[in-house]
Amino acid sequence: MQVITSPQAMTAWSLEQWAAGRRVGFVPTMGYLHQGHASLVDLAGNHADQVVVSIYVNPLQFGPDEDLDRYPRDTQGDLATCERHGAAVVFMPSTLYPPGFGTSVSVPGLSQGLCGANRPGHFEGVATVVARLFGIVRPHMAVFGEKDFQQLAIIQRMTEDLALGVEIVPGPLVRDADGLALSSRNRYLGPDQRRRALSLSRALRAMRASKLPQVAALRQLGLDLLEVDELDYLEVVCARSLEPLEHLDRPARAVLAARVGSTRLIDGMALEPRP
């Protein structure tokens, strides 16, 4: 496994793979990799000959009051995880943006609600960094986790709209044995917080298990089960457009963001249409 730190060297490596007819898969991350990330690396390996994992904590996607400075890091552990899961390259730039950087990529419609409502500028930062990373890494395909469902929808939209020619493959959400969606932020949770954090997946499972076709009732069912300190949102949205639904008449997703203590957690589950 190779560690590449310069964007130029990264592009050169990828162009060699293209020239040799090898398919390049890509998993962009902010590091502190857990089993969820590892599953994305495995998935990329199923779709590509060579997998590149990027590790870069992107300042553009953090708000002024967010946890950029205390975002956890574990370079040695991350490299070991990538190696173990068969990555060919870890791309770990010290600075990703060139001097005078001034371009912004956004998908305003899909970025408005849900996480976008509470994190102004976040998805613009995500779309911008992913566009630049696609330019540098030149992947044939890239994997994005379904946990960040709004992010996945935004990246799919941007990739099609800008004709970037990258196949976007969604990676299923991975949970701990107790049901908690894996997240680098879970480490901030104390024992009682972790217990209450389980109410997120419990609420979503109850919503999925119920036969209720009306979103208002379904949503109330979930809300009643939550034991969080602050709810950002609990919504049932169209799985394609992310528009809020009133009836479960098409493939949908229940999506949820909440704070337990000061830790912001997100979770989500697919819901089948109900007659």
Query: How many other C-beta atoms can be found within 10 angstroms of the C-beta atom of residue 192?
Result: 11
Task: Tell me the C-alpha distance between 247 and 255, whole Å.
Answer: 15
Q: Which is nearer to a second copy, 33 or 129 (CB)?
A: 129
Least distance from a second copy to the Cβ atom of residue 95, Å: 13
Per-residue x/- mask for a second copy, residues 104 to 123, rule CB under 8 A?
A: xxxxxxx-------------
Least distance from a second copy to the Cβ atom of residue 132, Å: 5
**Under rule CB under 8 A, residue 20 binds a second copy:** no
Hey, which bits of 164-204 come out as E strands?
Answer: 167-171
Q: Which is nearer to a second copy, 154 or 236 (CB)?
A: 154
Per-residue x/- mask for a second copy, residues 62 to 91, rule CB under 8 A?
A: ------------------------------
Q: Give the footprint of a second copy on residues 203-242 (CB under 8 A).
A: 241
Burial class (CB in 10 A: 0-12, 13-18, 19+), 95: exposed
Task: Tell me the C-alpha distance between 57 and 192, whole Å.
Answer: 29
Is 37 catalytic? The answer is yes
**Under rule CB under 8 A, residue 157 binds a second copy:** yes
Q: Helix, strand or coil for residue 181? A: strand
Tokens linked to 267: 């979770």
Q: What angle do CA 98, 102, 108 make, to 5 degrees?
A: 125
Which of 33, 90, 114, 158 is in the footprint of a second copy by CB under 8 A? 158
Which amino acid does the sequence have at 58?
N
**Site residues, a second copy (CB under 8 A):** 7, 11, 97-98, 100-110, 127, 131-132, 135-136, 138, 157-158, 160-165, 241
